[in-house]
Amino acid sequence: MPIQEDTQKIRPSFIGLIPFIVFIAIYLGAGLYLELSGVKMGFYQVSGPVAAAVGVAVAFLIFKDDLNKKFDDFLAGCGDKNIMIMCIIYLLAGAFAVVGKASGGVEATVNLGLTYIPAPYLAAGLFVIAAFISTSIGTSVGTIVALGPIAIGLAQESGLSLPLVLAAVLGGAMFGDNLSIISDTTIASTRTQEVEMSDKFKINLYIALPASILTIILLLIFGRPESIVTMGTHDFNFVKTIPYLFVLLLAILGLNVFVVLFCGVILSGIIGIYYDSFSLLGFAKEIYNGFTSMQEIFLLSLLTGGIAFMVTRQGGIAWIISKIEKIIVGKKSAKAGIATLISLIDIAIANNTVSIVIAGEISRRISVRFGVDRRESAVILDVFSCIFQGLLPYGAQMLILLGFANGAVSFLEVLPLLWYQGLLGVFMILYIFSGTYSTWVLKSLERKRKDIPLA
């Protein structure tokens, strides 16, 4: 049974939402308390999977189904196709990051960047590079894993603000996650709304492009080193940077993200073995180290997938939907309702792809009922899920990125600098409530369609 089970057949129930509330209260509440109490890395003192496990236990305690039925529902959620896809991506991305670092690729790429990128433009350059990579490979997690260690090395060597650099990388990664035609979020949003990928991309670009341009301008203004540093020339072996370029090329050619990351792992391994960075046995060990580095994200995704399915079956999601539908009176409020729905679900489960899958069917029904262009509802689903996914302290993207910093930076230091996510939200809200803006975008889309010559 798919995780996006038809919520019209389920009776809304606030009780069905309680496991999510418990999970968020434990994880987010404890994190906020510890951070404000001065505990370093307070958000990560309580492990995400542990908080999620408590939510699972609460679901088993308060839901009235037969125990075996509850186990079946939980396992169905854990084994959902979208959850499994994300988990495999986590494993491959972790392997690529660890093997690439062990082979000397990260160090070589850092030195390459230090040699050819002027320090005043590093922050803006990293945003653009992250946006390009994530658009190419279709995953923000894979982008952060590949670029995060490099960005941190560049920041430390050049004197740049580390929180600003991390925010720039995260913003660029979410740009591609939202726009890439091979991104899970884009595929999920277009499939659930039954619209063409190219149409969604074009509308989305009118919203994301101005936000990204303003972000680059801000990074050029404020992304300067804290002290004057002479970058100089750093020694690097260009061959060791090839896996990153190769991965990018394969992604541009449109290869499947699994194939892209797998090829990156193999190529990094070959180079590492050739330059005696590790043996064949060592290569195997580094791959496993990469797998284990993703165990927290892996477990969190499985558990939240299980909770999501149980909560959906028990009417928790239907309860949220019933409350949102009460405020809808026309097109603009319908768009706002879809935005609110997807935002709340993503805050609850911290997985933008699964959030879109859960909200997709009801969003399509809302669009049809209130005359919203389904291409617009696809954009709203994708944009708001990516905005909040790029803001959550317990989201995979933030967890991985701050993990690379090894405690040098806290979530609260990065949050105010997530300019792209904020600007994307501003332009999306303007699109929703400004009839002129949305009408102009849709007319522009139709005008371009007419200009295409018939075959």
Q: Where are the domains of the chain?
A: 69-446
- Nearest C-alpha neighbor of 147 from the set 422, 400, 385, 419: 400
Q: Flag whether pLDDT at 258 surpasses 90.
A: no
Region 410-435 average pLDDT: 92
Give the pLDDT band of residue 378 (cuts 50, 70, 90). very high
Which pLDDT belongs to residue 182? Answer: 67
Which pLDDT belongs to residue 454? Answer: 34
210 vs 229 pLDDT, higher one: 210
278-296 pLDDT, tens per residue? 899 999 999 999 898 888 7
Which pLDDT belongs to residue 2? Answer: 43
Instruction: Give the separation between CA 347 and CA 323, rounded to whole angstroms.
Output: 17
Give the pLDDT band of residue 39 (cuts 50, 70, 90). confident
Residue found under tokens 């603000």: 161
Which pLDDT belongs to residue 119? Answer: 66
- Nearest C-alpha neighbor of 270 from the set 230, 293, 242, 247: 242
Q: Flag whether pLDDT at 31 surpasses 70.
A: yes
Region 363-385 average pLDDT: 89
Region 134-153 average pLDDT: 80
Give the pLDDT band of residue 227 (cuts 50, 70, 90). low
Q: Flag whether pLDDT at 304 surpasses 70.
A: yes
Q: Flag whether pLDDT at 159 surpasses 80.
A: no
- CA 93 vs CA 257, 277, 293, 451: distances in Å: 10, 20, 10, 41
Which pLDDT belongs to residue 110? Answer: 64
Which pLDDT belongs to residue 379? Answer: 94
HSE value, Cβ hemisphere, 13 Å, CA-based, for 204 = 30
- Nearest C-alpha neighbor of 64 from the set 16, 6, 20, 21: 16
Minimum mean pLDDT among 28-37, 114-123, 405-414: which range?
114-123
- Nearest C-alpha neighbor of 177 from the set 148, 217, 204: 204
Q: Flag whether pLDDT at 343 surpasses 60.
A: yes
User: Mean pLDDT over all residues of the chain?
Assistant: 82
Q: Flag whether pLDDT at 126 surpasses 90.
A: no
370 vs 58 pLDDT, higher one: 58
